[in-house]
């Protein structure tokens, strides 16, 4: 295993690919890239890259192949389910369905709900958790001003929900503010009203352990691209009965156990879950990458938490020293959170600041509404903000350089001229060369 020493807390951490990446800035220099956009997509772990390289010579069709390489790939794919199940503390009977990402997983779950299921969720969730649910029995609750009030709001909503199947959709950690939601408390309320619980763990799983049994959660989704495994795979994990009873998410090979020609129609017997919802050739490389990331992070939670805790404190302290900066919060500045901070900087345009941080300082942050438009519209004037997020690829120097650059931009302005193109700020003249593979 490749181990590096954290420059912040002196504890061994898994290394990420691109940790020494140098990017061009305006003026002709190259600087070490400060990636403060882990909340959008995290870099690849070196262990994940190595695992993929090890698999690729053996890559072949998954399931039903007689060739030895096909048997190896099938074994890799099925063992990946065990790693994901273990990472999430899932039950032995829970299905692990490989999907593209958390959005795909929640849309799949929405397609599998029994008819007339009442769905309750909070309105500041990420669009992946907010939008898939349809029908007259979907209720979106306004997010309260404190985490303690959220279970009370949920209790009131479930008391009024129609009789029948019920599902509560909860977020583990806000992708806007990083704040943790009281998942276990919300699950207890759901249980009192006979409801199941689906957890959007996309932003939580890269930072904190998730245990479905301990939280008493029925379903969870996560994304490999946020979990240091950017190879196009995610997972929906949870109770198999609703998945087993639903029509396949996609129709095609793999989802079918048998197809019979009846003359005027085709009679189809569908496979059981999880294969029922994995039609087509599966992404064995992505599943193996995701499983490897789960195994690596599962062995390093103490180091990951210590690393991020110090960096997050450093980041928030630094932002408080920048004139005009206001941090966004759903539940208040002292609420527990993962390494995600969104903020405004007075009347400064977030897109302009993000463009200047990149072009002049080699710093990557996110600007806009972060696919959580309702949340950002409620918390930020104008409905747009900046977001800085830390992870395994972040160092103290990255955080300090970001704070210093932001302070300079806010107090002195940029050194270069910018203009808007296709809705985004860009340098008026940008001589920075693209990498050779794009030329």
Residue written as tokens 């350089």?
A: 401
**Cα–Cα dist 254/243, whole Å:** 15
Do 167 and 228 fall into the same domain? yes
Q: What is the CATH number of the domain that holds 321?
A: 3.90.1150.10
Mean pLDDT across 34-63: 97
**Cα–Cα dist 182/169, whole Å:** 12
The answer, yes or no, to whether residue 122 has pLDDT greater than 50, is yes
**Cα–Cα dist 306/150, whole Å:** 28
User: Could you tell me which residues come within 8 angstroms of residue 98 by beta carbon, excluding any fewer than 6 positions away?
Assistant: 77, 80, 81, 233, 234, 235, 274, 278, 282, 283, 286, 287, 290
User: Could you tell me which residues come within 8 angstroms of residue 166 by beta carbon, excluding any fewer than 6 positions away?
Assistant: 117, 118, 119, 120, 158, 190, 193, 194, 195, 196
Structural domain for 154, as ranges = 48-298
Q: Is 294 annotated in the active site?
A: no
Beta strand 3-5 with 34-35 is: unpaired
**Could you report the per-residue pLDDT of 253-267, keeping only the tens digit for each?**
989 889 999 989 999
Do 281 and 414 fall into the same domain? no
**Cα–Cα dist 162/80, whole Å:** 39
Is 438 in a helix, a strand, or coil?
helix
Mean pLDDT across 414-437: 94
Give, in order, the Cα–Cα distances in Å from 91 to each of 86, 170, 319: 9, 19, 42
Residue 5 main-chain phi, psi, to 5 deg: -95, 125
Do 203 and 332 fall into the same domain? no
Under the banding of pLDDT at 50, 70 and 90, the label for residue 135 is confident
Is 230 in a helix, a strand, or coil?
coil
Nearest to 147 by CA among 86, 106, 108, 189: 189
| Average pLDDT for the chain | 95
The answer, yes or no, to whether residue 395 has pLDDT greater than 60, is yes
pLDDT of residue 301: 96
Helices (H), 272-349: 284-298, 301-320
Looking at per-residue confidence, does 392 or 5 come out higher? Answer: 392
Name the token pair of 251. 């129709």
The answer, yes or no, to whether residue 105 has pLDDT greater than 70, is yes
**Cα–Cα dist 301/305, whole Å:** 6
Among 298, 318, 335, the domain boundary falls at 298
The answer, yes or no, to whether residue 3 has pLDDT greater than 90, is no
Under the banding of pLDDT at 50, 70 and 90, the label for residue 238 is very high
pLDDT of residue 133: 97
Mean pLDDT across 144-165: 97
Q: Give percent of the chain with pLDDT exceeding 90.
A: 94
pLDDT of residue 346: 94
The answer, yes or no, to whether residue 6 has pLDDT greater than 70, is no
Q: What is the CATH number of the domain that holds 129?
A: 3.40.640.10
Do 154 and 87 fall into the same domain? yes
Burial class (CB in 10 A: 0-12, 13-18, 19+), 280: exposed
The answer, yes or no, to whether residue 271 has pLDDT greater than 50, is yes
**Conformational region of residue 238, where left means phi above 0, alpha means psi within -120 to 50, and beta covers everything else:** left
Number of domains in the chain: 2
pLDDT of residue 209: 97
Do 334 and 426 fall into the same domain? yes
Do 93 and 219 fall into the same domain? yes
Among 298, 331, 359, the domain boundary falls at 298
Do 342 and 271 fall into the same domain? no
Under the banding of pLDDT at 50, 70 and 90, the label for residue 2 is very low
The answer, yes or no, to whether residue 5 has pLDDT greater than 80, is no
Do 148 and 186 fall into the same domain? yes
Among 277, 298, 319, the domain boundary falls at 298
pLDDT of residue 9: 45
**Could you report the per-residue pLDDT of 173-215, keeping only the tens digit for each?**
999 999 999 999 999 999 999 999 999 999 999 999 999 999 9
Under the banding of pLDDT at 50, 70 and 90, the label for residue 11 is low
For CA atoms 248, 253, 258, 260, the dihedral sign is positive
Do 343 and 404 fall into the same domain? yes
Do 293 and 305 fall into the same domain? no
Task: Report the 10 Å Cβ neighbour count for 107.
Answer: 20
Under the banding of pLDDT at 50, 70 and 90, the label for residue 64 is confident
Q: What is the DSSP string of 131-150?
A: SS--STTEEEEPPPSSTTHH
Do 117 and 252 fall into the same domain? yes
pLDDT of residue 10: 36
Do 263 and 316 fall into the same domain? no
Q: Give percent of the chain with pLDDT exceeding 70.
A: 97
């Amino acid at each position: 295993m490749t181990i590096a020493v954290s420059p912040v807390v002196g504890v061994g951490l898994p290394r990420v690919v691109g940790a020494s990446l140098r990017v061009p800035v305006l003026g002709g220099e190259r600087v070490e890239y400060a990636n403060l956009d882990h909340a959008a997509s995290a870099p690849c772990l070196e262990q994940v890259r190595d695992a993929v390289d090890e698999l690729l010579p053996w890559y072949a069709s998954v399931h039903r192949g007689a060739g030895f390489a096909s048997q190896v790939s099938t074994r890799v794919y099925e063992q990946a389910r065990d790693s994901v199940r273990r990472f999430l503390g899932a039950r032995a009977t829970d299905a692990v369905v490989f999907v593209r990402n958390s959005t795909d997983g929640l849309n799949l779950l929405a397609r599998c709900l029994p008819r007339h299921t009442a769905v309750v969720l909070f309105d500041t969730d990420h669009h992946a958790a907010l939008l898939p649910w349809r029908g007259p029995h979907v209720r979106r609750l306004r997010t309260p001003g404190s985490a303690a009030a959220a279970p009370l709001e949920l209790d009131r909503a479930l008391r009024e929900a129609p009789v029948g199947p019920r599902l509560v959709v909860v977020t583990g950690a806000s992708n806007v503010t990083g704040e943790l939601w009281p998942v276990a408390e919300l699950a207890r309320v759901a249980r009192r009203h006979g409801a199941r619980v689906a957890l959007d763990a996309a932003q939580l799983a890269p930072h904190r352990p998730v245990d479905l049994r301990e939280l008493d959660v029925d379903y969870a989704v996560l994304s490999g691209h946020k979990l240091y495994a950017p190879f196009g795979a995610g997972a929906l994990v949870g109770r198999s009965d609703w998945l087993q009873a639903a029509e396949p998410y996609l129709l095609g090979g793999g989802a079918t156990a048998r197809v019979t020609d009846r003359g005027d129609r085709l009679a189809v017997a569908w496979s059981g879950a999880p294969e029922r919802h994995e039609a087509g050739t599966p992404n064995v490389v992505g599943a193996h990458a995701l499983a490897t990331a789960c195994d690596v992070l599962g062995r390093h939670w103490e180091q990951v938490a210590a690393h991020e805790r110090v960096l997050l404190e450093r980041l928030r302290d630094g932002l408080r020293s920048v004139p005009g900066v206001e941090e966004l919060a759903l539940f208040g500045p002292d609420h527990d959170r993962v390494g995600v901070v969104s903020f405004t900087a007075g009347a400064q345009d977030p897109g302009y600041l993000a463009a200047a941080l990149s072009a002049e300082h080699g710093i990557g942050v996110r600007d806009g509404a972060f696919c959580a438009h309702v949340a950002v519209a409620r918390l930020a004037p104008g409905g747009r903000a900046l977001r800085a997020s830390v992870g395994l690829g972040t160092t103290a120097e990255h955080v300090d350089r970001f704070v210093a650059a932001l302070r300079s931009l806010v107090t002195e302005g940029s050194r270069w001229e910018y203009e808007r193109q296709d809705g985004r700020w860009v340098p008026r003249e940008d001589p920075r060369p693209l990498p050779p593979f794009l030329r």
